[in-house]
Amino acid sequence: MICIYCQRDLPQSDFSREHVIPRAFGTFAQNLTLIDLVCADCNQYFGETIDFALARGSAEAVHRLDEGVKPPQSADDLRRDRVRIAWTRAGDWNGVLLRLTADSTGLVVEPVPQIGFARQAGDGFIFVPEEVLADPDRPLPSGLDPKKGLFLIANSDETEGRLVHALEARGITFREHRRATPPLQPGEDLPVEVRTTMDSLIFRCVAKIAFNYLAYTQPREFVLHEEFSAIRQFIRYDHDPGYVVIVVDSQPILRDDSATKRQTNGHLVTVNWAQDRSSVVAQVSLFNHARYRISLARGFRGVWREIRSGHHFDVQRGAVNPLVGTSLILARRALPNKALQLTANSAFQLGLGSLLAFNLGASATVGGAVGRS
Bigger pLDDT: 340 or 101? 101
> In this structure, is residue 44 part of a structural domain?
yes
Q: Distance (Å, rounded) from C-alpha 74 to C-alpha 68?
A: 10
| Residue 341 included in any domain | yes
Residue 110, domain member (yes or no): no
Residue 180 domain-assigned (yes or no): no
Residues 6+ apart with CB under 8 A from 256: 263, 327, 328
Residue-level pLDDT at 268: 97
d(CA 136, CA 168): 11
pLDDT above 70 covers a percentage of the chain that reads: 84
CA 154 to chain centre: 27
Instruction: Decide if 252 is inside a domain.
Output: yes
Query: Is it the case that residue 370 has pLDDT exceeding 70?
Result: no
Residue 366 belongs to a domain: no
Instruction: Give dist(CA 34, CA 22) in Å, integer.
Output: 12
Kindly provide the residue ranges of all beta strands, DSSP E only, lying in 71-208, ordered along the sequence.
83-87, 97-103, 106-111, 114-118, 125-129, 150-154, 179-180, 188-190, 192-197
Specify the amino acid at residue 146.
P
Band (59; pLDDT cuts 50, 70, 90): very high
The pLDDT, as a whole number, for residue 148 is 87
Q: Which domain holds residue 268?
A: 12-52+197-350
Residue 229 CA to its chain's centroid (Å): 26
pLDDT digits (tens, 9 = 90+) for 156-210: 889 989 999 999 999 998 876 444 566 777 677 778 888 898 999 999 999 999 9
**Model pTM score:** 0.84
How high is the pLDDT of residue 174?
A: 81
**Mean pLDDT score of the chain:** 84
**Domain assignment present for 173:** no
| Residue 60 belongs to some domain of the structure | no
Report the C-alpha gap between 244 and 149 in whole angstroms. Answer: 44
Name the phi and psi angles at 157, rounded to 5.
-60, -35
Q: Per residue in 217-249, pLDDT tens?
A: 999 999 999 999 999 999 999 999 999 999 999
Residue type, 123: D
Number of domains making up the chain: 1
Helix (H) or strand (E) holding 365: helix 364-367
* 282 touches 250 (CB < 8 A): no
Which residues, other chains included, contact 311 with Cβ-Cβ below 8 Å and sequence gap of 6+? 32, 213, 268, 269, 270, 320, 321, 322, 323
